[in-house]
Amino acid sequence: MELTTFWFILIAVLWAGYFLLEGFDFGVGILLPVLGRDDRSRRLAINTIGPVWDGNEVWLIVAGGATFAAFPEWYATLFSGFFLPLLLILVALIVRGVAFEYRHKRESARWKQGWDLCIFWGSLVPAILWGVAFGNIVRGVPIDAQHEYVGGFVNLLNPYALLGGLTTLALFTLHGAVFLALKTDGPMRAEAGRLATRLALAAVPIAAGFLAWTAITDPDDWGIALSVLAALTLLASVQLTRIRREGWAFTATAATIVLAVAALFTTLFPNVMPSTLDPANSLTVLNASSTPYTLKVMTWVAVLFTPLVLLYQAWTYWVFRKRLKLSDIPA
């Protein structure tokens, strides 16, 4: 396998891991006003992701760093052309992280409600904009012969990309509801399970529509197969949630997200950023990559350190695997 292909696959894995793990974080934040009827229930919801949310964001940092090092042309065009949406995502993530740390600093109800609102918006905005960004990456954007993005912000708000934003919003919210049903016990577990079933009624047609549009616009045998598998696992999660098999339901929603990301990257390959002006202007794994020596050094670093990171994060989830209930939250 060529190193350029290897790093394209690795970056796809990093983004899939980020959406899988940060996805339920976003979902919990979005559902905070719905399932958090009082301060104790909101604290219960936040505590389910408290030990892991910052570790989940490491996947984003690594994905961005890997893109910068392996495909600098892709990184430069992406971050210059998508500057405003990526800035909004960054600001939302910062506000959300500060809210997690500051909401308990004072006992004032108004103080906590303000930070809870920051958690909600700090989860909602990235959940939508990540889908918009990746929708544009797969669909293609206006790139000139110098590999510069020559469109504006309005170009990014096309119907396909907006449907991508709705898809990530629906999937992440459903993923968060299933996670809360898995990680809590008592009334919140039951309520999160019922809510997940209702959310699936919206998530299934939205996600199916987006994946079908992708398959029709840019047909790829492997991409279509992965999209079908993603649809099947999403339907399985609905049934598993109904019978209160939360562990398997969470596995199914996780598989849906990973398979959907895999379908998008499979459809995209060998491009990393298609041009809608002229296919010759498209960025590919070859013309956007670093030198072979750089990729070789990076590969050795990834082989040595990636397993250690995965083992540490797996150990973290194992330590905090216990279900939480309201009695665990002091008044």
| CB of 273 closer than 8 Å to CB of 137 | yes
Q: Evaluate if residue 169 carries a pLDDT over 90.
A: yes
Residue 324, phi then psi, degrees to nearest 5? -110, 150
User: What confidence category does residue 20 fall into, taking pLDDT thresholds of 50, 70 and 90?
Assistant: very high
Q: Which superfamily, per CATH, for 3-325?
A: Formate dehydrogenase/DMSO reductase domain (1.20.1630.10)
Region 231-238 average pLDDT: 87
Residue scoring higher pLDDT (134 or 36): 134
Task: State residue 313's pLDDT score.
Answer: 85
Q: Which two tokens stand for residue 143?
A: 């790139």
- Determine the pLDDT at residue 131: 93
Report DSSP letters for 295-331, one per residue: HHHHHHHHHHHHHHHHHHHHHHHHHT-S-B-GGGS--
User: What pTM, to 2 d.p., does this model score?
Assistant: 0.91
Q: Which of 35, 3, 15, 71 is nearest to 272 (CA)?
A: 71
Do 184 and 324 contact (CB within 8 A), yes or no? Answer: yes
Q: Strand runs (DSSP E) across the chain, as ranges?
A: 271-273, 283-284
What tokens were used for 130?
A: 């990540």
Per-residue pLDDT, 171: 92
pLDDT in tens, 89-101: 999 999 999 998 8
**Where residue 1 falls among pLDDT bands split at 50, 70, 90?**
low
> Mean per-residue pLDDT for 73-82?
89
Say if residue 236's pLDDT is above 80.
yes
53-78: average pLDDT: 89
Residue 328 DSSP symbol: G
Residue 12's pLDDT band (boundaries 50, 70, 90)? very high
pLDDT recorded at residue 91: 95
For 48-59, what is each residue's pLDDT tens digit?
888 888 888 888
Q: CA 204 to CA 193: how far, in whole Å?
A: 16
